[in-house]
Amino acid sequence: MDIKLYDRNLTTPAPPDDLTDKVQNLKFSTKLHGGFYLCTFNLKADLPEAWEWFTGKAFCRLVISDATRTLWEGRIEDIGLSEGAVTVTAYGYYANLSDIPYNTAYNDNFDVVLKAVLTACCTQISADQSNIDATGGPAITSGADSEYLDIYPKEIVEKLAKFSDDTYSGKWFFAVWEDRVPYLKRRVTTAIDWQTAPCDFARFKLVHRGAELWNSCYAVYDAGGVVTRTATTNDTDSQTKYGSSAASFTRRKVIPQLGSVAAATAQAARDHWLEEYHEIWGRMEDMVLGPNVQDANGVPYPSSRVRAGDVLRVRDLVPASADLDAIARDALRTFYIVETSYDAERGELRITPDLESASLDAILAKKVK
């Protein structure tokens, strides 16, 4: 693993400093939305070098790699100086989406709005937008309410992604990966990137939570200044599955006030929620891999190579069944990863699969981060 520090020039940087043998307690993470997310480490340095870091390294570029694979890339922001030590925190270039607010009116599909916002406000993000896929509708307008305009691009991404697309085909995630190239991709689980077995985990815990089942849903929005509700949509298969011979079972979600959006936009938010929560998914609550993982062909690699957006298959986790070879996000053996955190000292990778909690405590916890 190589750790290189570059200057602030992202176009023609000077030769980097090699920090590989100076870094201690290295940890780095990936996340969706975001891409390369957070990196922390301590630096072995004498006082003059420590002072140079403290006064001159803010916003310099940090790259961690393994052979030709970039494991992490971002910019240094937080630097601490104490007796005999420098503590450093760097953030992936998703942080550039929190530098300049966007104040130009829009009324278009998510991918179109995103390209305009990145071009206008995010000078550290690559101009290569070829990996931003078209979402189709619904169009979202900045006039929906005051929370859709005069906000930072990061907030725009996370608000507009919740509307999914006009086919309700699943979640869309935005990320900034190698060379600061932006990606907007729909969650796809038709092929696996990595595979492992239960014995490869340092620890894991699989649970089911009935409180996270929602098989009926409607959304609230404004139509001409009038509070309006969409029609209620039901997943009758789910209601039958979790009911009894005497009656079906319904849990209804209300999506709170979306603002002055079009009816089709509110319906997209409603249908996207129902698609995500109509089933009780198994949840890995403590999923920590050891130092090794295998690719789809069984070739071993360090677990540090696994990142958010990858699909992981855990072999032999559940009893054999007729569809064991099928690739689907079943949350029992196949997981779409939305967050990773690698501890280089321990050689362990904590994985968060895409099973976002719908419980109140989880929502509040995200808001205070």
pLDDT digits (tens, 9 = 90+) for 142-187: 887 778 899 999 999 999 998 888 776 678 999 999 999 999 999 8
Average pLDDT over residues 32-59: 91
Residue 196's SS3 state is strand
Average pLDDT over residues 218-224: 92
- Per-residue model confidence (pLDDT) at position 83: 72
Q: Comparing C-alpha atoms, which of 99, 141, 133 is closest to residue 262?
A: 141
pLDDT digits (tens, 9 = 90+) for 223-264: 888 999 999 999 999 999 999 988 999 999 999 989 888 898
The distance of Cα 267 from the centroid of its chain, to the nearest Å, equals 24
In whole angstroms, give the CA distance from residue 313 to residue 304.
Answer: 16
283 confidence band (pLDDT: 50, 70, 90): low
In whole angstroms, give the CA distance from residue 13 to residue 219.
Answer: 49
329 confidence band (pLDDT: 50, 70, 90): very low
pLDDT digits (tens, 9 = 90+) for 291-308: 999 999 999 999 999 999
- Per-residue model confidence (pLDDT) at position 154: 97
Alpha helices (H) in the chain, listed in sequence order: 47-56, 110-121, 153-160, 236-241, 263-277, 360-367
330 confidence band (pLDDT: 50, 70, 90): low
Amino acid, single-letter form, for residue 131: N
Q: Are 351 and 340 in contact (CB under 8 A)?
A: yes
In whole angstroms, give the CA distance from residue 165 to residue 149.
Answer: 21
Using CB atoms within 10 Å of the CB of residue 313, give its burial: 0 to 12 exposed, 13 to 18 middle, 19+ buried.
buried
Architecture in CATH of 2-96: Beta Barrel (2.40)
357 confidence band (pLDDT: 50, 70, 90): very low
Phi–psi pair at 159, nearest 5 degrees = -75, -50
Q: Are 8 and 61 in contact (CB under 8 A)?
A: yes
- Per-residue model confidence (pLDDT) at position 332: 61
Higher-pLDDT residue of 132, 275 = 132
- Per-residue model confidence (pLDDT) at position 275: 86
Average pLDDT taken over every residue of the chain: 87
- DSSP at 86: E
Question: Which range among 116-130, 156-170, 201-215, 314-328 has the greatest average pLDDT?
Answer: 116-130
- Per-residue model confidence (pLDDT) at position 259: 87
